Structure 1
């Protein structure tokens, strides 16, 4: 075949090749796939929520934590929740949400209801520095989140908010949620309240082995409280009678004994 005909035959092929490569991942064309929003393994404080144009500031304790395994958990300011989250580009889709069912006072219930309304379904995420904004497709529902600083184990007031039994978490007994908290001091003492009475005890903290061991009997007050509070206190005192392994994740602390029994706690707002 003459060379001229060969060249003419190659022209359509070259044109098709050029068209096929235009708009690829590196050129910003229509076929470009945006990178997924980098939220896996991050934790956020809820700043405010807007539902149908009504903006409400969040109470202390409202938070969202995205795990590495495609799940998300946290608190709406009163109850704990968890859900499944799928991230594709700048869109997060929240499904299969579940939450505890405690009663919420001081307007927390109203805020939590609107928070759960906004934190559902497909949400467009916008990340700017330490601020994350999640909004519904029509823009009527918006969540404003700020990056949550990690809490140090020592010196933080840890509010006990759940019990653990062989890796299964549960909420505290109804009527016992308000008082249980403790502080691990720099002086090697643990102080606080385990549901009814104030207590103080000497503790040994091994940060390399990640263990906390209460040494010797605790000094306590001698008040009588409601049955749920006393039941929780008895449970927690039994738990503290031995070495505990701790896991610290952002502002959540988990303490478990060798059998898998333990507690979960959240850093109280300062």
Structure 2
């Protein structure tokens, strides 16, 4: 059987051999060689700054956020503010000075329709953003308040734990776009605490290593088994492109149960949801 990829680390080879043995015998999989622990969470910015921080709302207007909905805010060091209103994705810009904040641009969002209660909450959240005049931030919590000092929305810091199992929902096709996965296939990726990564592209088993430093990530090189699958149609092309997309990832971000990988040039490499 031939391996695809350059197995530079002994731990990668050990993981792949374990996968092959598990698929061809009734015995348990081989135990991979240990690898050094890796950091799996991106830290927030220093207390007092919103730059490069990510948050999930816990309270809006003094009431808990609706159960089952996820309202997020990601503050970029470049003055960008983006996230989810609970139904739609939104984007705007902001400025801060000491503890004051101003949302400078109109809040632009997608136009999806959701449950009426979620839509009402989202509209209230967008209004809150426009009304925010000050902020108070710690390592764990962010509060936006109005001009009178009344709290408008309270956020909890959003964990950036990449460890776990993720289901791929989209990947860069190597041409010009991120495309959805082939219907009838379920490509998955699992990041382990020991720095190994495994999964499937929809046909073959994948194995490799990864490293995290802040929100920077390096995946691979990835190796795979060399099975050939005729169904579902397009799964082999998907698998090849997915391996390239994952190996091209330079940064990552997590919002709720959604994970995004981006290349060094900022182009989206892959999108995933927590499995």
TM-score by length of 2: 0.57
For the structure 1 residues 158 and 37, does the alpha-carbon distance in structure 2 shift closer, same or farther, using more than 3 Å as the test? farther
Q: Which fold has the larger relative contact order, with Cα–Cα distance below 8 Å and residues 6 or more apart in sequence?
A: 2
Question: Partners of 1:105 and 1:221 in 2: how far apart?
Answer: 40
Question: Partners of 1:184 and 1:156 in 2: how far apart?
Answer: 4
- Could you tell me whether the CA contact under 8 Å between 2:142 and 2:156 is conserved in 1? yes
Matched, 1:70 2:79: yes
- The number of residues matched between the two structures is 211
- 5+ unaligned residues in a row in structure 2: which ranges? 1-46
Matched, 1:87 2:96: yes
The equivalent residue for 2:120 is 110
The equivalent residue for 2:59 is 48
Displacement of 1:122 in angstroms is 3.9
Question: Partners of 2:236 and 2:261 in 1: how far apart?
Answer: 19
- Could you tell me whether the CA contact under 8 Å between 2:81 and 2:91 is conserved in 1? yes
For the structure 1 residues 181 and 130, does the alpha-carbon distance in structure 2 shift closer, same or farther, using more than 3 Å as the test? farther
Q: Secondary structure at the match of 2:124?
A: helix
Displacement of 1:87 in angstroms is 0.4
The equivalent residue for 2:190 is 184
Question: Partners of 1:49 and 1:181 in 2: how far apart?
Answer: 36
Matched, 1:101 2:111: yes
Decide which of 224, 231, 235 is 1:215's aligned counterpart.
Answer: 224
- Could you tell me whether the CA contact under 8 Å between 1:49 and 1:56 is conserved in 2? yes
Displacement of 1:142 in angstroms is 1.0
Question: Partners of 1:103 and 1:218 in 2: how far apart?
Answer: 42
For the structure 1 residues 180 and 90, does the alpha-carbon distance in structure 2 shift closer, same or farther, using more than 3 Å as the test? farther
Question: Partners of 2:228 and 2:123 in 1: how far apart?
Answer: 41
The equivalent residue for 2:207 is 203
- 5+ unaligned residues in a row in structure 1: which ranges? 1-35, 193-197, 224-229
Decide which of 41, 49, 54 is 1:38's aligned counterpart.
Answer: 49
Displacement of 1:123 in angstroms is 2.6
Q: Secondary structure at the match of 2:104?
A: strand
Q: Secondary structure at the match of 1:69?
A: coil
Question: Partners of 1:169 and 1:255 in 2: how far apart?
Answer: 13
Decide which of 158, 166, 173 is 1:157's aligned counterpart.
Answer: 166
The equivalent residue for 1:33 is none
After TM superposition, the structure 1 stretch with the greater mean CA deviation from structure 2, 63-72 or 92-101, is: 92-101
The equivalent residue for 1:226 is none
For the structure 1 residues 217 and 76, does the alpha-carbon distance in structure 2 shift closer, same or farther, using more than 3 Å as the test? farther
Q: Which has the larger radius of gyration?
A: 1
Q: Secondary structure at the match of 1:120?
A: helix
- Could you tell me whether the CA contact under 8 Å between 1:164 and 1:256 is conserved in 2? no
Alignment RMSD (CA, Å): 4.4
Question: Partners of 1:242 and 1:155 in 2: how far apart?
Answer: 21
Q: Secondary structure at the match of 2:164?
A: coil
Question: Partners of 1:92 and 1:255 in 2: how far apart?
Answer: 28
